Each structure stands twice: as structure tokens, then as C-alpha cells.
Structure 1
Amino acid sequence: MVKKLHLWLIIIFALLLIGTVGYGALSYYAGQDTVPEKVMAGGVDIGGMPVDDALTKLDQYEQMLESRTVTVEGNAAAKAEGNKEWKAAEIGYKAEFAGVKTELKKLRTGNAWTRAKFRYHFPTSFELKQTYDPAVFDKLVRAQWDWIDSNEPANATRTITNNDKVVYTPHTEAYRIDVEPLEKQVASWIIVPDNQLGGQPEQKLSVQLGVKTVHPDITLEKLKAEGIDRKIMELTTDFSTSAEGRAYNVTSTAKALNDWVLEPGEVFSYGDVVAKTEKEFGYKEAPVISNGKLVPGIGGGICQVSSTLYNAIIRTAGIDIVERRNHSLPVSYLPKGQDATFASGSIDFRFRNSTGKKLIIRTVVENRKLTVKLFGTMPDNIRYDIDSVLVKTVQPAVQKVTDKTLGAGQSVTVQKGSVGYVVDTYRTMFKDGKQVSREKITHDTYRAQPVIVHVAAGAGGSAGSQNSGGVVEDGI
């Protein structure tokens, strides 16, 4: 009996001894203030380190990543001199060891059993979370060089001065910050790849400020390519003897024609000028040609503008006459064969700009003189002379009209009549002062006006009245 009791005491003592040793071992295991072995956080080895040291190491690694610098170098082309440096954290980058710091602190939380269990199951790998917001970088760059985006491009201009010089003003280009290439460079550098974490990544990045050139719609090269090089022709006619109405019509039509622009290949129609003048200024009463006679009408004088323009045109290289007709009567302001009439709805003056470049028509009215100037492209060593040759004259017929108011044998000449003309006009081309060609460009007829004699009844006269109808020339 005593032996059995002694055995049980030994067993109980042994169990108590084992329990004490086990609890001590458990307490020792749970009470360790170190990181379990083989623990990696975002490539950083913290296994076996004291917890505080591990936390410090992780903080320092985060700070190191966020303290890396990006330098944006100015763009000399855009005169955006100077460099600007930012830390990674300032441009929207953040590095954070996701969860590991919280987990490390849990090693110190709870009773021995809880801490031991947590330590035993502690993860061996933690993530380093990296984020980057390119919008922050974009905003900083634009704010640093904000004046660049505020500029606007300016078109080149062309001015024809009062002394007929063609003056060009160059265009101005503007610039726009091109942040997108910078963002791509920064994004490819700032996020450290997983296989490089734990080491010492590249600490500095230098990038060139991206600037895009904004061209205006009209550059100097584009404007000059239109071909308005110089004044290529000028011609003047006089209307000093014109009455007020005719002078007004000439001046108003010239104003409507001024600064008329013709594109390459475009056909000019004088009817468009007349329509514009009617709309903007209106026409006054002045003599027009109707049925070969000067009679009162509206718009008299408009053909002095078309005829002056015609004379400038035929002295210019590269322009094709599409439609032109002479007046039925000679005009006083130009030689025969060198005029161009107009009649609303039936006769137009048209030509095609075949120079291959633009053509600008300008007009000046001063001291009752009309000047037409052409600006465009024409070789300096080319000129044209125009001369008209009288082919023949046509004598007027005698037209007798019965006048019952006259006594027997009486007659009265009421219209003296005028001679008609047939005229050929030639254009001679000179190159470097030497004649190289001569061509006939028109064959014109100015009809004779009959001598009208009133005679007594029975003297063989016609009883009909004079025809006052027909096409109205030099008017509307």
C-alpha cells in the first residue's frame, strides 16, 4: 500500500515538473521580441530581427523610395529654361508595406498562448504596395511652366503698302507642354519592379520637358507660296471730263473691285463686280450706249473700269481672256480696239487666272483718274506692248426720214453721223528687252452711225421712226 502511494506521488511530481517546463518553454517562445525567421517584406529581409529594428528598417525603406528625385530639365527651344526637382512623394508616389507593420505589433499582443500561436503561424511574405498618380505630376509640371500654354500662335500677314510694296510679317508659333511622354518615363521608373525590391533602386531620374510646337493656320511659307510677289502691272485712264453721275459710277465700281482676289484657275466675271457695286453703292444716271447711241441711262461709266482692267490684264503674262467685246462706239479714254464693254445679261468681260498663283486686283481713284494695279507673279524680264492698227474706215449711210412738218423741197440734217472703224489689235512680247513674239489678239468693228436727214413728204423719205431699243452698253 505504501509502495503504491509512493508511485503515484512520483508520477504526480513528474507531471508537475513536465508542465512547469512546458509552460516555461511556451512562455519563452511567445515572449520573443523578434521577427520570426525567413520573413520577407517587399523584398526586404527582416527575419530574426528585433521587432523595433524591423519596423525602423521598413520605415526607412519606404522613406528611401519616396525620397527618390525626378528632375525635369527645361526646354531651350521653347525658352523654358531652368530645371525643377521633385521628390517621388511630391509627384504622387507612395510606398507602403501593406499589413506587415500591424502584424509585427501583434507579436506583442495577447497571452502567451495567443502570442505563441500567432508567432507559429506568422506569414513569411508581405507585399510592398506602391501607387503613383500621374495627375499630380501633370499638375505640377503645368504649374511650373504655365506661361507656355498661355501663348497663342499668330498668322503670318501680307500687306500691300500705299507705295505698292508687298510686305510680309512672319507668323508666330506657340508651344504646348507635352506631359504625356514625361509621365511615361516617370511611370516606368518610379514603380520598382518586384524582382528589384529590397535592393537600392535608381535614386534619380532626369527627363527633358516635352514641348509641342503649335503652328498657326497661315505660316509665312504658306502665305508666300500664294505668289503675291510684287506689283506686276498698272494702268491708268482719265475721266476728268465726266459729269458727276458718271464720275460717281466709275468711283463706286472701282471701290467694289478693289482688293479682289482670284485663286489659281479661277474665272473672273465683271458681272460680279457690277452686282456688288449695285448692292453696296448703287448707280446714278449717266449716258449709256443704246442701239449705237449715247442716251440717258443708269450706270453710265461702268465700262471705263472694265476697259482699264482689260488693258492691265492683256499686258500680264499667264492670264487667258474668256469673254470680251468692244463697244459699238469708240470710247474717248482708250485707243480703239483696247476697250471691253459690258451689258447686263448679254455681254460680260471674263478672264481666267492661269498664272498658277493668286492674283490681287487693286484700284485707286484720285483726281478723276482711275488706276488698276495687279499684284501676283510675273517674270521681271517679260513685258508686253499693245498696239492697234486701223484696218479700214466705214462711211456712214444716209438715212432719210419723212417729216410732214417740212415744206416741199425742204430737208434738215438732224444727225451728222459718224465714221465706223475696223481695228486689229496686237500684243508684242519682249524678253530681256528683245521682241520674241507678236500676235493679233482682237479684230474689232465699231459701226458707222448714219447721217439722218428729215425730208418733206414725197421726197423719198422713210415714214418709220428711229429705233431706240437694243442692248444697253456701259450701263445697267
Structure 2
Amino acid sequence: MKRIHVVFIVVLGLLLVASAGWGALSLYANDSKVPEDVTAGGIQLGGMEIDEAADLLTHYADSWEKQQIVVLANEALDSTDSREWTLKELGYHVDANSAIAALKKLEKGSLIDRTRYRHSFEKTLSINYSSDTEVFDDAVKKEWGWIDTSAPTNATRVITANDRVVYTPSTNAYRIDLTSLHNQVDPWIKEAQSSASVLAADLAALSTRGFHLPLPISIVEPEVTLEKLKAEGIDRMIMSFTTDFASSAEGRAYNVTSTAKALNDVELAPDEVFSYGKIVAATEKKYGYREAPVIQNGKLVPGIGGGICQVSSTLYNAIIRAGLDIVERRNHSLPVSYLPIGQDATFASGAIDFRFRNTTGKHLIIRTVVEDRKLTVKLFGTMPDNVRYDIESVTTSTIEPTIRETVSDTLPPGGRLITQQGKQGYVVETYRTLVRDGKVVSRERLSKDKYNAQPTLVSVGKGTETKGKLGPGASNDAEQAPIIEDGVGAQAPSA
């Protein structure tokens, strides 16, 4: 009996211990509170009722998305309108569902499952923040997208009919600077995320929290601003020179006019070298040249492009009076009627060019006007008002014409007939004098030119004794340049 009693006492004790263990296990598994030291996104949840903690996270996410961003239109737009959005409207979202689900799972499953789950419950739960920049950008553009439709306009420069240089300022365009907008908002958003535990303590205050900022606007400047355009130095008309072609036939007048059109509005950068050959080529391509007298081997003969040298010569006179440097220039082999000797500039395709350098230090614009059979070349740029250049040509010697005799079948023996009266040739030196404030500063020789004499042509009858003498200082045919001056086309072969 004594042994049976002992066994009973032991069994009863074991039953009592087991009963107490299951009770403690049941209490642990059915605990309605969140395990200690548990946080979700920095929010302290440990020790809170599970439902209370889940509600807190739900209300936190809702309140966080209700925070506001207020954008005030930039002062540059002369506008004070503003627009406010909630974070949710701008594409920002908070997802606490996984943390809430984890909390709710503490109440689900068997006693053993709940025990095991609570025992291994994560101390740190995640709250996921997300954003959609396209939603943000679209919202801003919908409000102020008209700003991006503007376009910058370049400053302009116009030379009027009365030779005034008129400038029109440029205008800027504006663009919404979305990158700058995000750069300002993003740190505030990150601060709101990192301060979650503080914010969750006052959900009412969280939902009214906001961030105010001006609408960032970037300026789009035009390619050509007024300052940049004026810096080119086209201040005024610095020189003008006119020649007359009233006596020219239609073909020559057409050539002069067409070449002047091609030359009009040519602009040279500082130190740029101008080539007249390019103007002739451009004229030939765009307008074509007509038949007019040209100079070949010291004679006026029919050709194509006659008259083009009146344009180069008129330009030459404007250039030397503006003080620019001449790179390449030759006089005609014969004097021209529209300019003093020593002050012309010929051209021959592939043989002679007229070139000068823009030494004004600023840009230079060439303008041409053809009116009433007069050609005017105008230069616009920079030149001191107290400076002028005087041009003087001096004949240093003359060249007497030769006498050329040819036998004529129509003249009697001993008969002589002058068919062309000869003309003198000249050697000319041209000087340029720099005058500043009315005082001579320097004088330089620009050129020394030779104009060939034109021979006297005489027809004689058969049997007539010919003189066959050359006039003093005259040149023979071999000295004549075998080129076509004042025209275009292939050059004549050398004699």
C-alpha cells in the first residue's frame, strides 16, 4: 500500500507540472501584445496590442501619404499662383501591409505554431516607401506646362536703307527645372522616412505636415544674345565709295549689278582674308555672266563677264580708305574710265585675284547698292571717328605708244592711213596717308603700277617704205600679259 501511494503522489505531481506547463505555453502563444523591442520602419511597436499596432501602421501610412508639397510659381514668371498636392497625388506611397500581416500572424495557427512563430518573431519589420517620378512630373507639367512651350529668340542686327545699324534684343525662354525640383523634395522625403517613429507619435500633425518651395525655373538663352552680337563691332558705316557705269552697255551693266548682288552682305571675321575670286564664282553660279568687252593682251575684245572689275575696283577704293591691309591686288594693263589711274583692282580667272585682310579687329560687313547706273560699296564695322585715310596717285613717268604698220591692198603705193591713234602709258605710284585728329600720322606707298601704252596703228600701201620704229619707252607684244582681264573664262595662251 505504501508503494502504491508513492507512485500516486509522483504521477499526481507530474500531472500538476504538465498542467502548469501547458497553461504557461497557452498564455505565451495567446499573448495579445507585440513582442518586446519590435519596430516597423523605425516605429516602436513592442508591448502594444497587436490590433493597436496594426491600426497604428495603417493610420501612419495613410497620414504619411497625406503630407503636402506646396509649389509657388517662380517670381521670374511674374506670377504668385501656387499649387498643393498630397504625396499620394504626386506618386509617393507607403506600404505597411507586410508588417501588418506579420503582426496578424501572431494570432493565427495552432498553439504550437503560434508559440514557435512568436518565439522566432523578427524584431525589425519593414515599411516600404515607393515613388513614381512620372506622376510627379506630369502633375507639375499639367499645372505649368505652358512654360516649356516658349522659345528663345536671337538678337538681330539690321542695316537700314539710310545706313543706320539697328539692334533688337534677344529674348530668353524658360523651362521647368524638374531635376532641381526633385533635388529639393527628395531630402525632405528621406527625412520624413527616417523620422517615422517621431511622426507616428502624432498622426494628426503628420497628415498636415508640408513642404513649401518655389517652382524652379531654368533660363534658356538664345544662341545669339545682344551682347554677343554687339561685341562683333558693327557700330556704323565706316566707309563708302561710288563709281559710275552710265555709259556701259546692257551686258556690262548686268555683270556689274549681278556681281554687286553676290558681294552684298558678305561678312568677315577679324583677321579673315577676303577673296574676290569667290564672289565671281558665286555670281557665275547664281546669276551667270553676259557678253561684254574684256581686256586681252592690252586690247578690248568681246568676252564674257566684262565689268566685274568695276566691282572689285570700287571695293578696293573703299578698303584702302578704311585703312585695311591689301594681300593681293594688281592694276589693269590699261587705264579704266571710272577711276583715276593707280586706284583700280583687276581680276583674271585663275591668274589674278583681289584679296585683303580684315584688320579692323572686329567684324566687317560689305553692303552694295546699285542705283541709276551707279555702284556704291559700303563698309560697316569699327573705325575711330577721329581717323581718316587720304589717297593720292602720282604719275612718275609716261610711256609713248609704239607705231605698228600693216600693208593694205586698198591703199595706193606711198599711201598711209592711221586706223587707231595710240595712247600713252603711265607709271603711277599711289600713297595712303593716315590722318588722326586732323594731323598727318604716317604716309605709305600702296602700289607702283604700270599701264601699257596703246600703239598707233597705221595702214600703208604696197611698196611704201615703212618706218618700223618703236616710240621711246614703248613695249612690244611679248611684254603684254597674255590673260583675260575684267572677265571670266579660260586664259589665252602665252605669246
TM-score after normalising by structure 1? 0.87
- The aligned counterpart of 2:414 is 409
Partners of 2:4 and 2:81 lie apart in 1 by 96
- The aligned counterpart of 1:50 is 49
Cα offset, 1:462, TM superposition: 7.5
Partners of 1:269 and 1:14 lie apart in 2 by 122
Which segments of 5 or more consecutive residues in structure 1 lack a partner in the other structure? Answer: none
Matched-pair contact (CA < 8 Å) for 1:402–1:461 = no
Matched-pair contact (CA < 8 Å) for 2:261–2:368 = yes
Matched-pair contact (CA < 8 Å) for 1:289–1:472 = yes
Partners of 2:487 and 2:467 lie apart in 1 by 31
Per the alignment, do residues 288 and 9 of structure 1 end up closer, same or farther by CA in structure 2, a change over 3 Å counting? closer
- The aligned counterpart of 1:157 is 156
- The aligned counterpart of 1:142 is 141
Per the alignment, do residues 449 and 51 of structure 1 end up closer, same or farther by CA in structure 2, a change over 3 Å counting? closer
Q: Give the letter aligned to residue 261 of structure 1.
A: E
Cα offset, 1:320, TM superposition: 1.0
Residues 395-404 or 405-414, more deviating: 395-404
Q: What secondary structure, in the 3-state scheme, does the structure 2 residue paired with 1:227 have?
A: coil
- The aligned counterpart of 1:362 is 367
Partners of 2:55 and 2:259 lie apart in 1 by 91
Partners of 1:57 and 1:452 lie apart in 2 by 122
Cα offset, 1:174, TM superposition: 2.0
Matched-pair contact (CA < 8 Å) for 1:158–1:168 = yes
Cα offset, 1:265, TM superposition: 2.0
- The aligned counterpart of 2:483 is 471
Q: Deviations over 1:340-362 (max 9, x none)?
A: 12222322222122222222111
Per the alignment, do residues 445 and 60 of structure 1 end up closer, same or farther by CA in structure 2, a change over 3 Å counting? same
Partners of 1:304 and 1:200 lie apart in 2 by 88
Q: What secondary structure, in the 3-state scheme, does the structure 1 residue paired with 2:89 have?
A: helix
Residues 161-170 or 65-74, more deviating: 65-74
Residues 55-64 or 354-363, more deviating: 55-64
> Which of the numbers 410, 432, 448 marks the counterpart of 1:443?
448
Partners of 2:437 and 2:481 lie apart in 1 by 51
Q: Does 1:209 align with 2:221?
A: no
Q: Does 1:457 align with 2:462?
A: yes
Residues 227-236 or 115-124, more deviating: 115-124
- The aligned counterpart of 2:321 is 315
Q: Does 1:226 align with 2:229?
A: no
- The aligned counterpart of 1:424 is 429
Q: Deviations over 1:262-318 (max 9, x none)?
A: 22222222222222222222222222222322222222222111111111111002x
Cα offset, 1:225, TM superposition: 2.0
Q: What secondary structure, in the 3-state scheme, does the structure 2 residue paired with 1:314 have?
A: helix
Q: Give the letter aligned to residue 41 of structure 1.
A: A
> Which of the numbers 371, 374, 379 marks the counterpart of 1:374?
379
Matched-pair contact (CA < 8 Å) for 1:130–1:191 = no
Q: Deviations over 1:41-92 (max 9, x none)?
A: 3333333433333322222222332222223333223556433322223333
Partners of 2:295 and 2:25 lie apart in 1 by 130
Partners of 1:298 and 1:194 lie apart in 2 by 85
Partners of 1:470 and 1:120 lie apart in 2 by 114
Cα offset, 1:366, TM superposition: 0.8
Partners of 1:227 and 1:409 lie apart in 2 by 71
Per the alignment, do residues 415 and 25 of structure 1 end up closer, same or farther by CA in structure 2, a change over 3 Å counting? closer
Cα offset, 1:405, TM superposition: 3.6
Q: Does 1:251 align with 2:250?
A: no
Per the alignment, do residues 407 and 141 of structure 1 end up closer, same or farther by CA in structure 2, a change over 3 Å counting? same
Q: What secondary structure, in the 3-state scheme, does the structure 2 residue paired with 1:60 have?
A: helix
Q: How many residues align?
A: 473
Partners of 1:381 and 1:141 lie apart in 2 by 59
Partners of 2:397 and 2:117 lie apart in 1 by 128
- The aligned counterpart of 2:61 is 62
Cα offset, 1:390, TM superposition: 2.9
Matched-pair contact (CA < 8 Å) for 1:414–1:454 = yes
Per the alignment, do residues 19 and 163 of structure 1 end up closer, same or farther by CA in structure 2, a change over 3 Å counting? same
Matched-pair contact (CA < 8 Å) for 2:328–2:356 = yes
Written as runs of structure 1 = structure 2, the 5 A alignment for 1:119-130 is 119=118, 122-130=121-129
Q: What secondary structure, in the 3-state scheme, does the structure 2 residue paired with 1:430 have?
A: strand
- The aligned counterpart of 1:306 is 312
Q: Deviations over 1:196-235 (max 9, x none)?
A: 4311388333334333322222222222222222111111
Partners of 1:176 and 1:112 lie apart in 2 by 64
Q: Give the letter aligned to residue 65 of structure 2.
A: E
Matched-pair contact (CA < 8 Å) for 2:414–2:463 = no
- The aligned counterpart of 2:333 is 328
Q: Give the letter aligned to residue 210 of structure 1.
A: P
Q: Percent identity?
A: 55
Cα offset, 1:9, TM superposition: 8.2
Matched-pair contact (CA < 8 Å) for 2:155–2:169 = yes
Cα offset, 1:8, TM superposition: 8.3
Partners of 1:243 and 1:268 lie apart in 2 by 29
Matched-pair contact (CA < 8 Å) for 1:80–1:145 = no
Partners of 2:249 and 2:408 lie apart in 1 by 34
Cα offset, 1:410, TM superposition: 1.7
Matched-pair contact (CA < 8 Å) for 2:428–2:450 = yes
Q: What secondary structure, in the 3-state scheme, does the structure 1 residue paired with 2:151 have?
A: coil
Per the alignment, do residues 26 and 163 of structure 1 end up closer, same or farther by CA in structure 2, a change over 3 Å counting? same
Which segments of 5 or more consecutive residues in structure 2 lack a partner in the other structure? Answer: 201-205, 469-475, 489-495
Partners of 1:409 and 1:121 lie apart in 2 by 144
Per the alignment, do residues 246 and 199 of structure 1 end up closer, same or farther by CA in structure 2, a change over 3 Å counting? same
Cα offset, 1:415, TM superposition: 1.4
Per the alignment, do residues 456 and 137 of structure 1 end up closer, same or farther by CA in structure 2, a change over 3 Å counting? same
Partners of 1:300 and 1:118 lie apart in 2 by 107
Matched-pair contact (CA < 8 Å) for 1:88–1:190 = no
Q: What secondary structure, in the 3-state scheme, does the structure 2 residue paired with 1:233 have?
A: strand
TM-score after normalising by structure 2? 0.84
Cα offset, 1:21, TM superposition: 6.7
Cα offset, 1:251, TM superposition: 1.2
- The aligned counterpart of 1:351 is 356
